Amino acid sequence: MAYFWNKFQFSELEKLTYKMSNKLLRSRQLESYRLGIYYLIAIDGTELYRFSEKHCEHCLYETRNGKKQYFHRVLEAKIVTSNGLAISLATEFIENPADKEFDKQDCELKAFYRLSEKLKKLFPRLKICLLLDGLYPNASVLKICKENNWKYIITFKEGNLKTVWEDFNGFFENRKSAIGGKLELNEIIAKETMYRWMNKVEYAEFGLNILAKYFKEKLVRAFITNLKITSENLLRIESYGQLRWKIENEGFDVQKHHGYNLEHLYTKKPNGMKVVYLLIQVAHMINQLFLRADILKACYSNFSIKYILSKVLSGILLGWIKEFELMFKSIDNRAFQMRFDTS
């Protein structure tokens, strides 16, 4: 298998993940999980492998405790939903170029710029709201979102955009002068929890909307967004901003520690490593959809999940088999079709 993976063009698997996710979108299977008209797409990176010696010409490297270490990372864009789905849309591998000299290594931000181009090319008319972590509040990222007409909810830490934080805190501390300047200062206090938000805080060419949550006057979390914040939608914006964790918990963590062995080195060849990673994204997508199908609930009393999945695998490897079809038809004598379980 490793020999095959090393020879196979990983770009063909990228086309497959696109076709699978595009089929879900075009059949409107994920519409109920949107924020208004926008699909929530989390983007995050993760480390795949680490070595004590240089593994290949694409290795990233860093020095820890005086020793140089080499590693491979990937940046992933996934549709995330409140019921735990993390569906791969596009992948960008973070790696140093092999055929030319470079002053600075590849990194997550550089990969984001490439991934955003890929997303726009693959899904040019998709209504997107990006969910990003504290690495991304900068003018270049905001400009990409503006040019692509994308919405965003970005984790906003106190170390990010210091002048914006100073303005935000300063306006609330000096309310009289702020109100005199006709700025909208909004605050809700419920027991020991407080929400503060402002719309159109100036930063470069952008007007940022800021939402901050405090508990006992200590900052809990904050977001910047280009969605207008109101008292009616602030809790929704906060909850959807936190859905970014789905890409780590339901995405990378499941793939690393719950049966997919994402960090296992199946092959040492760079091309084979990419093929394995993309195969895992395909397998994870199939399993997520199957385990959330309404028909599976009816199967529990007749068959074990392990048995059902073994027949699914047989169907994929051997083509549609009669035993597979009869197994589902025997449940409630209906034509074989799976839908999301909405109960």
CB atoms within 10 A of CB 269: 16
Round to whole Å and give the CA distance between 255 and 288: 12
Tell me the pLDDT of the chain averaged across its residues: 87
Round to whole Å and give the CA distance between 298 and 331: 7
CB 96 within 8 A of CB 58: yes
pLDDT digits 0-9 by tens, 113-147: 999 999 999 999 999 999 999 999 999 999 999 99
Residue 208 has pLDDT above 50, yes or no: yes
Round to whole Å and give the CA distance between 154 and 102: 30
pLDDT digits 0-9 by tens, 153-201: 999 998 889 999 988 888 887 764 444 445 567 888 888 899 999 998 8
Higher-confidence residue of 335 and 191: namely 191
**If you count DSSP H runs as helices and E runs as strands, how many of each does the chain have, helices first?**
13, 10
Dump the DSSP string for 220-286: EEEEEESSPP-TTTHHHHHHHHHGGGHIIIIIIIHHHHSSS-TTS-S-SSHHHHHHHHHHHHHHHHH
Cα angle 121-237-183, degrees, rounded to a multiple of 5: 105
pLDDT digits 0-9 by tens, 48-58: 999 999 989 99
Chain position carrying tokens 């609930």: 297
pLDDT digits 0-9 by tens, 175-188: 644 444 455 678 88
pLDDT digits 0-9 by tens, 70-87: 999 999 999 999 989 999
Burial class from Cβ neighbours inside 10 Å (0-12, 13-18, 19+) for residue 259 reads exposed
Cα angle 85-91-96, degrees, rounded to a multiple of 5: 145
Residue 23 has pLDDT above 80, yes or no: yes
Q: What is the CATH number of domain 2-291?
A: 3.90.350.10
pLDDT digits 0-9 by tens, 280-291: 999 999 888 888
Round to whole Å and give the CA distance between 178 and 171: 5
Round to whole Å and give the CA distance between 117 and 150: 12
Q: Where are the domains of the chain?
A: 2-291, 294-332
